[in-house]
Structure 1
Amino acid sequence: MRALVVDHAGPGPVRFAEVAEPEPAPHEALVGIRHIALNHGELKHSGQWPDGDVHGHDASGVVLRAAADGSGPEAGSRVVLGMAPHAWAERIAVAPKWLAVVPDGVGLADAAAIGVVGSTALRVLRTRSVLGREVLVTGASGGVGRFAVQLAALAGARVSALVGSPERVEGLRELGARRVAVSVSELAGEFDLVVDTVGGPQLVEVWERVAPGGDVQLVGTASGQPAVFGPDALFSIGEPKTVTTFCDVESAVTGELEVLLDLMARGRLSAEVGLRGHWDGVDGAVRALFAREVRGKVVLDVS
């Protein structure tokens, strides 16, 4: 069968290859993949995976054969995969903890977009109550960012969105952002929670605006630059401020996927697919993603 595998030697970071058919363990379902979704991080850091391994974590499709032990969805179910290893193939053997059934009214292509980014945004926003609080989302026009803006607004937060250029402002107010800016200096006040997907020098600026008792949740380093803090930057008097790393890719995501799908089915949450195409065009899609030309998610159809 055909799959996208890690490519260390070519222009990459992935290439098509013929790979062996999956052999499901008793607790795994066999899923026929209809759509895959690209994430900036997994492509940027593909060198951390073995050359030739089937890559990717997010996809959606239909259960071809249910798990032999009776766990998970039954055959014929439309499902979404989130954070599932080796997901970018025509068929995949996958454990129930990476799966959720897609409800009627939600398209499989839209469902494919929610996996890593939607689950990450939801988990971060569950770390503390944000009702009536000031929440800042950096890199707000990206995959995690656009979900975080929507979910924070739904939870009653006063949301500010920070983007890299004026061209990336579009649509964020409609998703729930009260303020949208291209630099920290444009935003007055302090923030109780920062969902940071950028890192680098911007993180240093943002830290100065975190309220006493506030927290910065680090979920990405899209800037690719170091964050250099001055000698006294991390010292403050009063209630402690924190910086928390966040990269949980091991815990089951079924519960988060079900919450996100329910919100989508009720029209409360948008998948925010910024680029849709066929997976034969994956090279162009990767270039567009790396060039920051995509607002939201890239979803590719599998033949």
Structure 2
Amino acid sequence: MPVRALVVDPSASAAVRLAEVPDPVPGPTQVLVDVSHASLNYGDLNDARSGRVPVGAVLGSDAAGVVVQAAADGTGPAVGTQVVALTAGAFAARVAIDVGALAEVPKGVDLAEAAALPVAGVAALRSLRAAGLGPGKRVLVTGASGGVGRFAVQLAAQAGAHVIASVGSPARAEGLAATGADEVLIGLEGLQRPVDVVIDSVGGPQLVAAWNLLAPGGSVQSVGWTSGESAVFPPYATVGPAKSLTSFVIQGEVGEDLATLTELAAERALTVEIGWQGSWDRFDEAAEALRGRRISGKAVLELTSGELHVPVPSPQD
């Protein structure tokens, strides 16, 4: 039986439309999940327009819902378990998901919160880990009001770092000090001392400026490029004491990291901020708000059940 899904369609206003797709058939190491909530990322919007996700294919990476069929090989969660997952084609009412790509959602964490964790939370956790996070390190998080940024600020603060949160406007600074930022800056204005770690999701000229602020032995983790602007390094900017600029992408199984993040959320050691939440019928609205940087934290889609109703032209049309 077909299920509803958000698929790539270049002719649609946001390059995405609701459609019907075949009911997924799980492999032996996959569970079937009825998805109730999904989280929208900048990467999803770019995937819809870049061709990385083919026309007609289901979009999305972040999903939360309930297992309706267990894995045939006996691994993974049982039927009825609430889970969160990072998986391709997440924006569908029912998805087949590898057991290594999901984690059980603990009591006390609702599925909307859980759905906001996968891409942004795992990116924050792994990029900080890769950069060599530790107590006393000076950590700069650019785009700190976004999904990755807010999680990175909290995780770095919990590790004992001195956290500097950079945002694009005063309005987007709200709440960052309460979640662990020692300093909150508009852009990089006023930042004079070197930093040891940069988690950058902005790119463009701000990436160049962050590189110039990096201390010897430090690391910039490039996790996004929301500015859409080119980064032009001046001559000799990359010549000098050793430091690194590393491209970042989530690879491999994420189940353990998702379990870590959901446990932190259950303990209220990690705050999940949802800046927009609504039906997936309002996808265009969510996409416009995200692109326009009018959302602090995450945008969460509620997947409504039922048939997809396509208007039928009247005889007068």
TM range (shorter): over 0.9
Q: What is the Cα deviation at residue 13 of structure 1?
A: 2.3
Q: Determine if the alignment matches structure 1 residue 40 to structure 2 residue 42.
A: yes
Q: Which runs of 5 or more structure 1 residues have no equivalent in the other structure?
A: none
Q: What is the Cα deviation at residue 129 of structure 1?
A: 3.1
Q: What is the Cα deviation at residue 12 of structure 1?
A: 2.1
SS across alignment from 1:137: strand
| Aligned partner of 1:147 among 143, 147, 151 | 151
Residue type at the aligned position of 2:297: G
What's 2:98 paired with? Answer: 95
The structure with more radius of gyration: 2
Q: Structure 1, residues 136-167: CA drift from partner, whole Å, max 9, x if none?
A: 00000011001000100011110000011111
SS across alignment from 1:173: coil
Residue type at the aligned position of 1:132: G
Q: What is the Cα deviation at residue 263 of structure 1?
A: 0.6
Q: Determine if the alignment matches structure 1 residue 12 to structure 2 residue 43.
A: no
Q: What is the Cα deviation at residue 215 of structure 1?
A: 0.6
Residue type at the aligned position of 2:151: F
Q: How does 1:70-219 map to 2 (within 5 A)?
A: 70-82=74-86, 84-127=87-130, 128-219=132-223
4+ runs deviating over 6 angstroms: none
Q: Determine if the alignment matches structure 1 residue 289 to structure 2 residue 293.
A: no
Question: TM-score, structure 2 length as denominator?
Answer: 0.93
SS across alignment from 1:18: strand
| Separation in structure 2 between the aligned mates of residue 252 and residue 115 of structure 1, nearest angstrom | 12
Q: What is the Cα deviation at residue 206 of structure 1?
A: 1.1
Q: Structure 1, residues 15-40: CA drift from partner, whole Å, max 9, x if none?
A: 10011101111111010001010001
What's 1:50 paired with? Answer: 54
Q: What is the Cα deviation at residue 183 of structure 1?
A: 2.3
| Separation in structure 1 between the aligned mates of residue 111 and residue 62 of structure 2, nearest angstrom | 12
Q: Structure 1, residues 227-262: CA drift from partner, whole Å, max 9, x if none?
A: 1011111111x4x111011112x3110011010011
Percent identity between the two aligned chains? 49
| Separation in structure 2 between the aligned mates of residue 45 and residue 85 of structure 1, nearest angstrom | 11
What's 1:267 paired with? Answer: 268
SS across alignment from 2:189: helix
SS across alignment from 2:177: helix
| Separation in structure 1 between the aligned mates of residue 234 and residue 96 of structure 2, nearest angstrom | 49
What's 2:245 paired with? Answer: 243
| Separation in structure 1 between the aligned mates of residue 149 and residue 133 of structure 2, nearest angstrom | 18
Q: Structure 1, residues 141-197: CA drift from partner, whole Å, max 9, x if none?
A: 011001000100011110000011111111110110010111213223110000000
Question: TM-score, structure 1 length as denominator?
Answer: 0.97
| Separation in structure 2 between the aligned mates of residue 102 and residue 269 of structure 1, nearest angstrom | 14
Q: What is the Cα deviation at residue 278 of structure 1?
A: 1.2
Q: Structure 1, residues 249-299: CA drift from partner, whole Å, max 9, x if none?
A: x31100110100111111100111111111111110111001000001001
SS across alignment from 1:116: helix
The RMSD of aligned alpha carbons is 0.9
| Aligned partner of 2:64 among 56, 60, 65 | 60
Number of residue equivalences: 299
Q: Determine if the alignment matches structure 1 residue 25 to structure 2 residue 12.
A: no
Contact 2:116 2:299 in 1 (8 A): yes
| Separation in structure 2 between the aligned mates of residue 166 and residue 117 of structure 1, nearest angstrom | 22
| Separation in structure 2 between the aligned mates of residue 58 and residue 234 of structure 1, nearest angstrom | 36
Residue type at the aligned position of 2:152: A
